[in-house]
A and B are shown apart, each in its own frame.
Chain A
Amino acid sequence: MKNTTVEASHLGKAYGATRVLQGLSFSVEPGDVVGVLGKNGAGKTTLLELMLGFTLPTEGEVRVFGHESTRMPGAAKARVGFVPQQDELLDQLNVADQIRVIASFYKNWDGELMTRLCEEWGIRASARIKSMSVGERQKLSILLALGHRPDLLLLDEPVASLDPIARRQFLEQLVEISSEGQRAIIFSSHIVSDIERLANRIWILKEGRLFWQGDLDSLKESIVRLHLRGSIPLPEEAGIPGAISIRRDASFPTAIVRDWSDSAQVELERRIDGSVEVQPLGLEEIFVELHR
């Protein structure tokens, strides 16, 4: 199974009769940064938990570094880093002790890296965890996942409480890690603009299924909005090739289409006797449009 970091086939999870995820097949290679998008309850956290081996799949399987995620040997687990949505810091400790506790689990812990990052991120070793703000706790929780230089870093909504400056520091740190090309990152976030910067691949989860997976660049090139300015109205039943949705109610109709071509453009312009303007869409708009 060469170097593939994560590989899932027909992966699914149900709690009783409720199917949270179904039919997920994907692979993640070293150097990939995957941004996971989905509405609340789309199954993002469950997907990360399946990869971490925290929970058993009810269909299919997911392999991490070639091992079934629930049966990973210690050496493989030591190559994974995880930032949970709710931090798991110990209130009664100070920062230095908290770092020591986590470091004790790893042979490959990089103390120097930790010291440098704490300094850069403004985390004092003597600070008591109990008295830290939500944002500071989140920063520390992220740093703790980096100390053993994981080959696979999973992050579940890691930046919700960070201010813009801290978020930028976080982004730069992740860009630095990913630009080495050896390590993979998978992170879920509602902050679409962060995903747009960091990720080269996008997974869109919708109703428990992997609704879209692929390159961010190809996604942006594939899905565009058309603005129809013609003298002949588009007939009620008339379709547009590759249309995901068509809005006819406005005085100038618009449509979201997939894989728009020059020939389709010429044909549509002829049908409406006018012009069709093609508008590229940012990730946030694509995400919203795919949920209409």
Chain B
Amino acid sequence: MFILNPQSGVPIYRQILEQVRRMIASGQLRPGAELPSIRELALTHAVNAMTISKAYSLLETEGLLVRHRGKLMTVAGLARNAVRGQSPLNKRLEQIDHLVDQLVLAARQLQLSEGELAKALRRKWEETDEKHDRRSITPR
């Protein structure tokens, strides 16, 4: 379920952190959904188990995942998220900061204007909006 690149300069635990956060934010991972075990991930990707366990622990501390004794970790329920309170806007923006950096850099290299970039972004947003809406009305 994760796309991991062990040769990247971004440590594996960070790759998992970012992907889980994004999947939860986008609704791909819903409250109660189970995550693969550390051992399973380590074996399927042939990577060290400790870096995966570090990612899961950090996500637990953030309140996004819940640990169950002897069972798979799950995505925290909405109530839990509500108690934790939605993370502040700047925290959420921070998570896509490096993606925005890359986007702006690429746009500048292609000599696109700010307006052109914003327009492309808006178009994409609306496209995915439709998909997103469709997904969220399907009954669970």
Q: Which of B1-47 contact A (CB under 8 A)?
A: 6-14, 38-39, 42-43, 45-47
Q: Are A179 and B43 in contact (CB under 8 A)?
A: yes
What count of chain B residues pass the 8 Å CB interface test?
22
Give the residues in chain B near A197, CB-CB below 8 Å: 6, 45-48
| CB within 8 Å for A217 and B54 given contacts A171-B46, A178-B49 | yes
A-B contacts counted at CB < 8 A amount to 63
A55-73 Cβ-contact flags toward B at 8 Å (1 or 0): 0000000000000000000
Instruction: From the candidates A171, A179, A181, A282, name the one contacting B7 in the complex (CB within 8 A).
Output: A282
B44-62 Cβ-contact flags toward A at 8 Å (1 or 0): 0111111100100000000
Q: Are A200 and B10 in contact (CB under 8 A)?
A: no
Chain A residue nearest to B10 in the complex (CB): A280
Minimum distance in angstroms from A169 CB to a CB of chain B? 10
Q: Are B9 and A277 in contact (CB under 8 A)?
A: no
Q: Are A175 and B43 in contact (CB under 8 A)?
A: yes
Q: Are B48 and A193 in contact (CB under 8 A)?
A: no
Q: Which of B79-105 contact A (CB under 8 A)?
A: 105
Give the docked Cα–Cα distance between A197 and B13 (Å): 12
Minimum distance in angstroms from A53 CB to a CB of chain B? 27
Give the docked Cα–Cα distance between A87 and B115 (Å): 65
| CB within 8 Å for A175 and B47 given contacts A217-B13, A217-B54, A277-B105 | yes
Chain A residue nearest to B51 in the complex (CB): A217
Minimum distance in angstroms from A178 CB to a CB of chain B? 7
Interface of A is mostly: helix
Give the residues in chain A near B13, CB-CB below 8 Å: 217
Q: Are B9 and A175 in contact (CB under 8 A)?
A: no
Give the residues in chain B near A279, CB-CB below 8 Å: 9
Interface of B is mostly: helix
Chain A residue nearest to B47 in the complex (CB): A197
Chain B residue nearest to A192 in the complex (CB): B7
Give the docked Cα–Cα distance between A148 and B49 (Å): 23
Q: Are B46 and A168 in contact (CB under 8 A)?
A: yes
Give the residues in chain A near B8, CB-CB below 8 Å: 280, 282
Minimum distance in angstroms from B30 CB to a CB of chain A? 28
- Residue A33 interfacial (CB < 8 Å): yes
Q: Are B43 and A198 in contact (CB under 8 A)?
A: no
Give the docked Cα–Cα distance between A168 and B128 (Å): 38
Give the residues in chain B near A224, CB-CB below 8 Å: 9
Q: Are B46 and A196 in contact (CB under 8 A)?
A: no
Chain A residue nearest to B52 in the complex (CB): A179
Minimum distance in angstroms from B67 CB to a CB of chain A? 16
Give the residues in chain A near B10, CB-CB below 8 Å: 220, 280
Give the docked Cα–Cα distance between A31 and B39 (Å): 13
Q: Are A220 and B51 in contact (CB under 8 A)?
A: no
Minimum distance in angstroms from B92 CB to a CB of chain A? 19
Give the residues in chain B near A175, CB-CB below 8 Å: 42-43, 46-49
Give the docked Cα–Cα distance between A217 and B19 (Å): 17
Q: Are B6 and A33 in contact (CB under 8 A)?
A: no
Give the docked Cα–Cα distance between A217 and B57 (Å): 15
Give the residues in chain A near B7, CB-CB below 8 Å: 193, 196, 282-284
- Residue A146 interfacial (CB < 8 Å): no
Give the residues in chain A near B50, CB-CB below 8 Å: 31, 200
Minimum distance in angstroms from B58 CB to a CB of chain A? 11
| A196-B6, A217-B51 known, 7 other contacts, Cβ within 8 Å | A171-B46, A175-B42, A179-B43, A198-B46, A217-B14, A220-B9, A277-B105
Between A and B, 19 residue pairs with Cβ closer than 8 Å are A33-B48, A168-B46, A172-B43, A175-B43, A175-B48, A175-B49, A179-B42, A179-B43, A193-B6, A196-B7, A197-B45, A198-B47, A200-B50, A221-B11, A277-B105, A280-B8, A280-B9, A280-B10, A282-B7
